Structure 1
Amino acid sequence: MKHTRLLPALLLLLVALAQPAQAAGCYADYKAKQDQPLKLHYGVMELSGDCSKAAAKGEVAERLSRAGWTLLNVLTVFGPEGLEQRKADAGRNFLRF
């Protein structure tokens, strides 16, 4: 009797382990600037580190600075479900950096 209860649970575990791992993806949208002449941009960046606003600030600032931009603000951190709604606003800065 105990084996008949254990079998369905074991089968569910095996099915779960057989599913391929799927990366969730983490993204941040931000505002940045360049001086002389003043240029501003809004962009979306895929994060490689922790998926938190605090961690995103350091990563986004570092990557932007390599291209001569200064981070003004990380607005939000979100998953892949938020990409499409931000794509048009980010324009050429959508996943650019």
Structure 2
Amino acid sequence: TFQEAMILEHRVKLTFYGGVNKVGGNKVFLEDFGYDVKIFIDFGINREEYSDCARQCYDPDKLENFTEFQVLPSEEEVPVKNLYSRCFIFNHKKLNFRQKIR
């Protein structure tokens, strides 16, 4: 059909930022070049990396600490404006995590 033909014309790229050959910490980034869409379809945190960060940081919930210890990719590595999940919203302007209002 016409819709199937359009889908085949689009290039899609998956980039794995974490979790490869590990248990936990999956970070899978999907880019659809036809629609100019970029989405993390899975964004886990490696528990070992998180524990290391929490032990060494004064404030383990600060975004800068997560990126410094490479628990999360930096904004330069992944130019995404908004991240949403059931647990948090990434506020691009304030560069911190805040709890979602339910």
* Fold-level similarity (TM above 0.5): no
Relative to the length of structure 1, the TM-score reads: 0.29
Higher helix proportion: 1
Structure of higher CA gyration radius:
1
Relative to the length of structure 2, the TM-score reads: 0.28
